Structure 1
């Protein structure tokens, strides 16, 4: 799987701090410390060399000793302040505190002990550092449901077992359903249990305030969210066909947001991505969205199909 920008960004920032503490480190040592190849270290140095603080004049850029680098040693000469930890303003700190409190409120009971400890300790440290501004703010996600129902819903999400619901539907009819719980959803004024309903044989959203009773069964869940729903990403397998798309640099988001297998960079800022194809319709939609930035598609027949869809759409407008 190709490396994503967030992963590389963390390494680049860590590399600046590491080189500031360890002047004159060999390329091989840096590679070993960050568990990457020597070639990747050199590419990272090239990237850092063109990075810096706003203005981006020569005096604003991170700098290295070129002579040392030619002999295989990385020597940082100007860090531009990036070797220090980020200092948050009050507004940013309060925003983070609010987000962490909301996360704790929504998922705290569903997290394992280690995850809860990390969340709690991070929230405690950040709240203390924010001071009075954090003390004046209260975040509470109102979940309208009977306390025992809410507790059992959260427990069922971690147990991996099927549950039986007594549920009041929109027609005020009481039904009993066996469902596989997937996750909680709070998208508007209501909260929902997203689950697979075995009676309906499909995905359903159950309003928590309409669940009269929830009983955990012995059977384990037998369904999982679709790839597009689970973690918001498609999970490719060897069964899916490969497609290669050449794009100009303005479509960089494709490499960041889609689960690509390979990225090949071009000298002019263009790049090629290789990804797995689960749905021809999805690819046609993607190609139409990227039309101004697509340089080539392999297999070419997929590009012809997308062009045909575009032509039919234009014909419909003319009609």
Structure 2
């Protein structure tokens, strides 16, 4: 499988960061550290040798000791200020706020909570505290998350906006956060219809042994569950965009690149692919190809109308 550009750029910057702290390391040592071969590290170092600041003058380039390179040792002499990309204070606060909102809404996966804890530990303070309008009881969330994972219905005690308390059995389909408020999208057996219920208005939840039988209504809310695997072949100039697709697997062949990736939202994926429309060669399955074609046609019609 071809390596993604993002992975290599991250490693290149990390090599400089390591060498700035320990001055030198063998290709083999760096390879073991980054999980690649010594030969790959050698190629990375020689690429860095031709990298630097704009201007192109001799003293603008990253500099290594050439004699050490001949011995399989990377000895950094000038990193030109390059190191791993860091978040600015504003970016860090924004990320902490976004993750904190998901956690407060009760819809954050464990990975989000872990990332938030690491960010707060890294800056040794808490620059922003997200306070939900109503706290979501994690104990009441457990039957819902279990029901989602196991495909089982859940009995809820729910208080609506008019302060009316009802008991209903729902088939949970997905958890979402809208404007910082957590909701469960579900099929309500009591109403015999789809419902979107606020998590902070659930005062009791009990997992049942009744299986979920009603499919999610795709017109409501959104889903991050993949619907199918797409395979797209394009000119290598489109590689940058294909690399941005979630869980993508990429292979190169001559001037073409083929990407396979899961698709949860057809229209979103079609819109992304249209950004490199002229470079596209084949798109599968037909569902995605048709969506790209429809979007391209709308663009052409809009251009004709503006002419």
| TM-score, normalised via structure 1 length | 0.63
**1:157–1:182 contact (8 Å) kept in structure 2:** no
Question: Measured at CA, do residues 168 and 50 of structure 1 come closer, stay the same or move farther in structure 2, by a change above 3 Å?
Answer: farther
Alignment of 1:273 with 2:258, yes or no, is yes
Among candidates 211, 214, 228, match of residue 204 of structure 2:
214
Equivalent in 170, 176, 183 of residue 193 of structure 1: 183
Q: Is the 8 A contact 1:27 1:41 kept in 2?
A: yes
Q: Are 2:229 and 1:229 aligned?
A: no
Q: How far has the Cα of 1:277 moved from its partner?
A: 7.2
Query: In structure 2, what is the Cα distance between the partners aligned to 1:96 and 1:312?
Result: 37
Give the 5 Å matches for 1:296-307. Answer: 296-297=281-282
Please give the alpha-carbon distance, in whole angstroms, between the structure 1 residues aligned to 2:50 and 2:114.
39
Alpha-carbon deviations, 1:16-68, whole Å to 9, x = none? Answer: 13233444433223212211123432343244335445667543432223444
1:290 to 252, 276, 299: 276
Q: Deviations over 1:189-248 (max 9, x none)?
A: x7232344374999753233554x43221449869999x833xx7487xxx574422242
CA contact (8 A) 1:196 1:203 kept: yes
Partner of 1:180: 172
SS at match of 1:142: coil
**Distance in 1 between residues matched to 2:275 and 2:80, nearest whole Å:** 39
Question: Secondary structure, in 3 states, of the residue corresponding to 2:18?
Answer: helix
For structure 2, the residue ranges without an aligned partner over 5 or more in a row are: none
Give the TM-score normalised by the residue count of structure 2: 0.65
For structure 1, the 5+ residue unaligned runs are none
2:248–2:262 contact (8 Å) kept in structure 1: no
- 1: CA distance, partners of 2:84 / 2:283: 45
Aligned length: 292
Aligned-pair Cα RMSD in Å: 5.1
